[in-house]
């Protein structure tokens, strides 16, 4: 069995979807696309003959026939799952860990309400940080396993009411949100989404039990957004490097493991937060054009650009990879010619023009 671990080297938006789709297309045999971390706040877009496709709750290899696996570190969002599943051109077999945390509509709405009140652009407003904080603060007594939730409707409704009340103690729900926030149909609709997700996924907690020729771990976000344990809203509450994939792969005998660090020749970032070397797009290179795969999101705000320091990139990549073999995946090469610089610094560099797979 072969394994590839695809990791964003910077602030996300590097082109991980393109890389995952490309390796899935080239694979010799059955591929399992593992969604390693984060949740449906990811937006991995690929450009295909069928147009631009953005994957959030599914792996980017799905288009080329990969099955999907939600790791225990991935946060489920049944609403997004149903919405996205219905649009898939190829329907994969989907596995999930029984230990996945999961978001409710109240996690997402509270996220958006607070961002609006603070006038901030630090979140995709999918409720990821809210879900993590809720699990931490309420513990086992205040959360339910996804399968238990689906099986008992009465307990499920009570649990959703508890989550709703939890946020009502933390935030002020403005009048313009009341008709949505207090609508009882939200609970019923959400429970239906959860049932749909349960019916279309298979619980499995050991990857070695699954029969695949290649595992492609698709990380969300990037190394510069890794959780530092400081509860920072402009970072992600997960490890964005090799750690989770390494933990899941422990005990499996692989013929080959390669870590693929994805980067553009320049930096990008959505929304608020630090951006090293920030600069106007036109000053980075006259050929850097408006992005075709990253669309404006109210929660995240504008798409920002910055100059990329290759020495700093190498330091964080090698710090994350450790003893694992790695390769650099350099995307958007048609926008800025830095291939020679990258090859001088890293040796092996796989290059891509503006994503088309």
The pLDDT of residue 301: 65
- Helical ranges in 27-97 per DSSP H: 78-85
Give per-residue pLDDT as tens, 305-342. Answer: 999 999 999 999 999 999 999 999 999 999 999 999 99
Query: Residue 120 pLDDT > 70, yes or no?
Result: no
The pLDDT of residue 189: 97
Residue 218, number of CB atoms within 10 A of its CB: 33
| Percent of the chain clearing pLDDT 70 (strictly above) | 94
Three-state secondary-structure class, residue 219: coil
Homologous superfamily of 2-97+203-266+308-351? Adenylosuccinate Synthetase, subunit A, domain 1 (3.40.440.10)
Q: Are 141 and 122 a contacting pair, CB within 8 Å?
A: no
CA 71 – CA 49 distance, rounded (Å): 30
The pLDDT of residue 264: 96
Q: Is 274 exposed, middle or buried (0-12, 13-18, 19+ CB in 10 A)?
A: exposed
Single pTM value for the model: 0.94
User: What is the secondary structure of 329-342 as a DSSP string?
Assistant: EE--TTTS--HHHH
Give per-residue pLDDT as tens, 190-241. Answer: 999 999 999 999 999 999 899 999 999 999 999 999 998 877 777 889 999 9
Binning pLDDT at 50, 70 and 90, where does residue 286 land?
Answer: confident
Q: Is 341 exposed, middle or buried (0-12, 13-18, 19+ CB in 10 A)?
A: middle
Query: Residue 140 pLDDT > 90, yes or no?
Result: no
Q: Are 25 and 35 a contacting pair, CB within 8 Å?
A: no
Of the listed ranges 45-54, 171-180, 182-191, 202-211, the one predicted with least confidence: 45-54
The pLDDT of residue 356: 47
Q: Could you give the residue range(s) of every CATH 3.40.440.10 domain in the chain?
A: 2-97+203-266+308-351
Residues 1-11: what's their mean pLDDT? Answer: 96
Q: Are 121 and 301 a contacting pair, CB within 8 Å?
A: yes
What tokens appear for 282 in the block? 């036109």
């Amino acid at each position: 069995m072969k394994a590839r671990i695809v990791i964003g080297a910077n602030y996300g938006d590097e082109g991980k979807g393109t890389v995952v789709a490309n390796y899935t297309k080239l694979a010799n045999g059955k591929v399992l696309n593992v969604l390693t971390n984060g949740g449906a706040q990811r937006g991995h877009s690929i450009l295909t003959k069928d147009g631009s496709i953005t994957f959030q709750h599914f792996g980017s290899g799905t288009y080329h026939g990969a099955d999907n696996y939600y790791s225990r570190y991935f946060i489920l969002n049944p609403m997004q799952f149903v919405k996205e599943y219905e649009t898939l051109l190829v329907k994969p077999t989907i596995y999930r860990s029984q230990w996945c945390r999961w978001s409710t509509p109240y996690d997402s709405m509270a996220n958006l309400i607070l961002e609006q009140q603070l006038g901030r652009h630090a979140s995709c407003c999918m409720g990821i940080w809210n879900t993590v904080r809720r699990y931490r603060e309420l513990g086992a007594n205040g959360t339910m396993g996804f399968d238990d939730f689906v099986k008992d409707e009465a307990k499920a409704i009570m649990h959703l009411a508890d989550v709703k009340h939890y946020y009502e103690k933390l935030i002020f729900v403005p009048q313009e949100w009341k008709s949505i926030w207090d609508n009882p149909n939200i609970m019923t609709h959400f429970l239906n989404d959860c049932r749909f997700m349960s019916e279309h996924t298979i619980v499995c907690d050991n990857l070695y039990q699954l029969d695949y020729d290649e595992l492609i771990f698709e990380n969300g976000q990037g190394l510069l957004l890794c959780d530092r344990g400081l509860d920072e809203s402009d970072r992600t509450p997960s490890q964005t490097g090799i750690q989770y994939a390494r933990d899941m792969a422990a005990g499996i005998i692989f013929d080959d493991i390669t870590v693929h660090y994805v980067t553009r020749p320049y930096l990008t970032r959505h929304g608020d937060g630090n951006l090293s070397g920030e600069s106007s797009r036109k000053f980075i290179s006259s050929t850097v054009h408006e992005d075709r795969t990253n669309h404006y999101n109210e929660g995240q705000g504008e798409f920002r650009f910055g100059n990329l320091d290759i020495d700093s990139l190498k330091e964080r990549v090698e710090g994350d990879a450790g003893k694992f073999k790695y390769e650099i995946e350099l995307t958007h090469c048609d926008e800025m010619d830095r291939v020679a610089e990258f090859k001088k610094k890293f040796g092996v560099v796989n290059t891509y023009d503006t994503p088309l797979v």
